[in-house]
Chain A
Amino acid sequence: MTAPTSAEKTRVAARVEDAVKIYGEGDASVRALAGISVGFDRGQFTAIMGPSGSGKSTLLHCIAGLDNLTSGSAYIGDTELGSLNDKALTLLRRDKVGFIFQAFNLIPTLNAEENIVLPLSIAGDKPDQAWYDQVVSAVGLGDRLKHRPNELSGGQQQRVAAARALVSKPEIVFADEPSGNLDSQTGAELLGFMREAVDNLDQTIVMVTHNPLDAAYADKVIFLADGRIVDDMDDPTANKVLDRLKTLEA
């Protein structure tokens, strides 16, 4: 990977340069990221894959501003995260980033609708009504918008989470094993929804997953092993991904 040109920078929603993350100290230290440089293009759906301990979740957390790098730099748009204090990082997450976690995505005391608009209400903003309608109709929750999370199925909960991630028109959405707790049918529905968000709503999504079926929804797959990028693949299919993973884990 070479350093991006300035033309590339504007195309890139988020990127890291020479990202190193070391956990612990001395003999006990673990090199989770061993110097990674990668950019995620706007309007693209990227999947990050790799065996357990390959650093894929760490990479996601560091680009998303949830964790900081030991060295190197991470950017959302043109903003370098390392220079930001907690408040600025928080506001950046609020305004520029969307999140979909594996579980516990929703606040139990708020209903689906309130959960969707949460980042906006935290900011004291009103949603863009046309955009909101578009997102919500894509979620397909119908009359369950006023229901609380404990009255929704797992798949519905994750779709609400996805809608929340999209509602503030973020620069980029990060998803960490979004279908991890779902059965394959509802998992497929969720991934289909994410795919549509990229195709029809022009969103940018970066997703960590270990499921080749999920990765097949992406435009591009990046493979990590031992904290390094070992390969990437455009227009993946489940079988191609599976084969590649087998060689990585071998």
Chain B
Amino acid sequence: MLKTALKGLSGHKLRLFLTALAIVVGVAFVSGTFVLTDTMRGAFDDLFGTLNEGIDVTVRAEASFTSNQQAGGGRDRVPESLLGTIEAVTEVGVAQGSLFGYAQFIDKDGDAVTTGGAPSIGVNWTETELNISTIRVGRGPTGPGEVAIDASTAENNEFAIGDTVPILFTGPRQDFAVVGIFGFDEVDSLLGATVAAFETTTAQQVLDAEGEFDSIEAAAASGVSQADLIAAIEAALPAGFEAIGQADLIAEQNEDVNEGFLDVFNIILLVFAGVAVFVGAFIIANTFSIIVAQRTRELALLRAVGATGAQVTWMILIETLVVAVLASAVGIIAGGLVALGLQGLLSAFGIDLPTSGLVFKPRTVIVGMAVGVIVTTLSALFPAWSASRVPPVAAMRDVEQTDTLTARRLIGGSIVTALGLVLILAGLFSNIWNELAFIGLGALILFLGVAVLSPFIAERMARIIGFPARRLFGVTGKLGRENAARRPVRTAATSGALMIGLALVTLFLILGESTKVSVGNTIDKAFSADFVVSPADGGFQPFSPQVTRDIEALPEIAVASGVRQAEFRLDGSNKFATGVEIEKAIQTTNFDFVSGDAQSLAAGGLAIHVDEADDKGFVLGQTLELEFAKTGFQNIEVTGIYEAEETFVGSYVFSTIEFDRHFTADLEVFSMANVAPGVATAEARSALEAVEVRYPNVQILNQAEFRAETESNIDQLLAIVTAMLALALLIALLGITNTLALSVFERTREIGLLRAVGMTRRQVRIMIRLEALIVSIFGAVLGISIGVVFGWLVVQATGDLGITDFALPVSTLIVVFVFAGVAGVLAAGFPARKAAKLNVLNAISYE
């Protein structure tokens, strides 16, 4: 039987290839996701290893918890004097104080040097053996006005020794002379971050850390164990500081990166990969059932000569398994290309990810193989089973295959669809422990249900959609239409794959559009400010509060109010705190206090958004126990409850006095400014443009511009998501090619007859393409409809997340619809050409 199975495979190379392709693409996405994240993880591991080379112990201020935030969520600094204390410990061989802060270069065109997500950092330069950097050209900075630059930044911006480079800090911008260029062992860059190194005293001035370090690193004297070193240092440390072994520190840093960023990134990519695999499963199942149907005679012959039903099933399953293993292997390897492609895609959208050589872990191979084999086998299970039901007498019969739509299909499909819908609704509208899992699983089941049910409408829909084809192309159109309608199960399965892809694309388009409209409305409602200052180019790098101070100092500006952000904990979960100077903020933002007011907030305590307060049962005057990284557990009084749009001011607002007490965050995420009375807006704008020149890391926009900017950021995110879903669409189109190729094969005689009685090759091609067009439009109609319903439901359910208005991107959806049709016609290119090239004589005598 094994031999027969293998022969069956090699006898049908084309279908084998097409089936395998669907598996390859799905598995490649899964494998590529793992390769990419493993590669990034490896890069981070290398980095942390490099950063901690030679260091045994790090001394730092104690913190209640470690915030994942890049800047300012963290701990307090340590006094410079502590370095002396540690150096005095006899077990310490060498020690250095380290500083780390915000420093952003300005390039030769006067633009801020952006990093695509990596931080712009300033550090102090030490000449100890603990310094991880090594000078490549020039020397280390030794005095004020001198800077050394990492090799990557120097190269990208053509900074050379002797150049004068302007640098932005939290304080005023300053010019420095480049005296050295350094690398990190052989590596040029710290994962894309730009690094400016200053002599220690200068660093303390520009990084706003007079007399302080962020941490102190120490290496043991020779012959001293790490444990002894830690014990000795801890004995010498005053209260409020801790000594941590380097292995623990690396583990902590890795955990931050892995749990905070890479895991989330991995999960997001895996979701997309899962969509691709799910769509692929449709194609595989469809292909195998068509193949089994086409081999009815062959299978019946096997049965007639004595093979049992089980043997026939096994034969099909063995064929499946061989295809699955081979295709998965190819897919796993192709995953490397996918990883590179994803990286390219993300970097095209301005997100540069750190990588070294591609990392293939055994886990990637195992998971890729398991996904490929399991999904393929499951998909082939039903076709394999139905193969065992082929009666031996079918070998003698020659009847046209038809799809029968049973009541069992109707009932089963309805139950599955309903189950999916219930899960989705439960996930969306009830307080279930894991909403996303419910919605995801519900969507999966719903898609399956719809695919089971859609054959019931496939025939009628194909006729309706194909109506114009009959009108435009006469009998050619009629035949294309009838071919799409004649096998409703096949048509439904083929269009089902497209349906899933398009439903998701539609969902995201609607969410994007609705978010844009909602955010736009919020901006209009919440912003009473004339101008908004935000990071340049839609970036996320917070900027110096000096920008806001400089703006406020302009005579054309009445008031400017900056907004800071930091993390704290409430009842064990992380929350974002917004820090504002409330007296100024109320002039630029409509806070709409429900109870309490700006004065009471200015004096201390925190204000909570009315929805959050209602949700948690917080009331004015109540004292809450909050946990801060810097100050630990603190009791803070609720001094205000406001109604302002959460999207911009967040749910927890602190005024400066309270914010500075508990957070180290000193950079602003955005700020707002009002024009002074009697000053023309144009006049204010030209004054602000001068500020933009001085601080190229910010952009100053009026309300309309800010709205447009925000919308374009959402569009960009949407573009990434759509690009990811494009892979699922590609697989779906592959499915159309596959089904049509198999259908053409099945209808060889019919096409031969048409050619014999006078149909031209061109007409044959048109006939096949029209069939593809009808099938893909059917998929598009179903997919877009489901997507619109999904979108509407999600918008209804997520009103509290800021998506309040349902908006239908009609023109984009029309584009998607047209795209689906065009892509379907293109997908039919190969089968159409194959059909047109059939040799008439062979075709009509084909058995």
A: residues with CB less than 8 A from B are 61, 66-67, 86-87, 90-91, 93-95, 99, 101, 104-110, 114, 118-119, 121-124, 150, 164
- With beta carbons under 8 angstroms apart, the residue of B475, B483, B486, B755 that contacts A90 is B755
Asked if B411 is at the interface (CB within 8 A of a chain A CB), the reply is no
B844 touches A118 (CB 8 A): no
B: residues with CB less than 8 A from A are 400, 474-476, 478-479, 482-483, 485-486, 749-750, 753-761, 763, 840-841, 844
CB within 8 Å for A66 and B754 given contacts A87-B761, A114-B475: no
Chain A residues whose CB sits within 8 angstroms of the CB of B760 once the complex forms: 87, 90-91
CB within 8 Å for A109 and B486 given contacts A86-B761, A121-B475, A122-B475: yes
Main secondary structure of the interface of B (DSSP, over half): helix
B754 touches A91 (CB 8 A): no
Question: A90-B758, A104-B749, A107-B753 known; 4 other A-B pairs, CB under 8 Å?
Answer: A94-B758, A109-B486, A121-B474, A122-B763
Report the minimum CB–CB distance from B408 to chain A (whole Å): 24
Report the minimum CB–CB distance from B110 to chain A (whole Å): 66
- With beta carbons under 8 angstroms apart, the residue of B474, B476, B844 that contacts A101 is B844
A122 touches B759 (CB 8 A): yes
Chain B residues whose CB sits within 8 angstroms of the CB of A94 once the complex forms: 757-759
Report the minimum CB–CB distance from A180 to chain B (whole Å): 13
A107 touches B754 (CB 8 A): yes
Most buried by A among B478, B482, B483, B840: B840
Chain B residues whose CB sits within 8 angstroms of the CB of A124 once the complex forms: 474
Report the minimum CB–CB distance from A179 to chain B (whole Å): 17
CB within 8 Å for A105 and B753 given contacts A87-B761, A124-B474: yes
B482 touches A109 (CB 8 A): yes
Bound: A164/B753 CA distance, A: 12
A91 touches B753 (CB 8 A): no
A104 touches B753 (CB 8 A): yes
CB within 8 Å for A110 and B478 given contacts A104-B750, A105-B753, A150-B400: yes
Report the minimum CB–CB distance from A45 to chain B (whole Å): 21
Bound: A87/B765 CA distance, A: 13
Report the minimum CB–CB distance from B477 to chain A (whole Å): 10
Bound: A123/B485 CA distance, A: 24
For B475, give the chain A residue with the smallest CB separation.
A121
Most buried by B among A67, A90, A94, A95: A90
B758 touches A95 (CB 8 A): yes
A99 touches B756 (CB 8 A): yes
Chain B residues whose CB sits within 8 angstroms of the CB of A86 once the complex forms: 761
Q: Which A-B residue pairs are the 6 nearest by beta carbons?
A: A94-B758, A109-B482, A121-B475, A104-B749, A66-B841, A119-B757
Report the minimum CB–CB distance from A79 to chain B (whole Å): 15
Chain A residues whose CB sits within 8 angstroms of the CB of B759 once the complex forms: 90, 94, 122
Report the minimum CB–CB distance from A85 to chain B (whole Å): 11
A122 touches B482 (CB 8 A): no
- With beta carbons under 8 angstroms apart, the residue of B476, B485, B840, B844 that contacts A122 is B476
For A90, give the chain B residue with the smallest CB separation.
B760
Chain A residues whose CB sits within 8 angstroms of the CB of B763 once the complex forms: 122
Bound: A150/B755 CA distance, A: 21
A67 touches B475 (CB 8 A): no
For B752, give the chain A residue with the smallest CB separation.
A104
B750 touches A122 (CB 8 A): no
Chain B residues whose CB sits within 8 angstroms of the CB of A91 once the complex forms: 758, 760
Chain B residues whose CB sits within 8 angstroms of the CB of A67 once the complex forms: 841
B757 touches A164 (CB 8 A): yes
Bound: A218/B759 CA distance, A: 30
- With beta carbons under 8 angstroms apart, the residue of B486, B749, B757 that contacts A118 is B757
Chain A residues whose CB sits within 8 angstroms of the CB of B761 once the complex forms: 86-87, 90
Bound: A106/B757 CA distance, A: 11
Report the minimum CB–CB distance from A100 to chain B (whole Å): 11
9 contacts between A and B (CB under 8 A): A90-B759, A93-B756, A94-B758, A104-B844, A107-B750, A107-B753, A114-B475, A119-B758, A124-B474
Chain A residues whose CB sits within 8 angstroms of the CB of B482 once the complex forms: 109-110
B758 touches A109 (CB 8 A): no
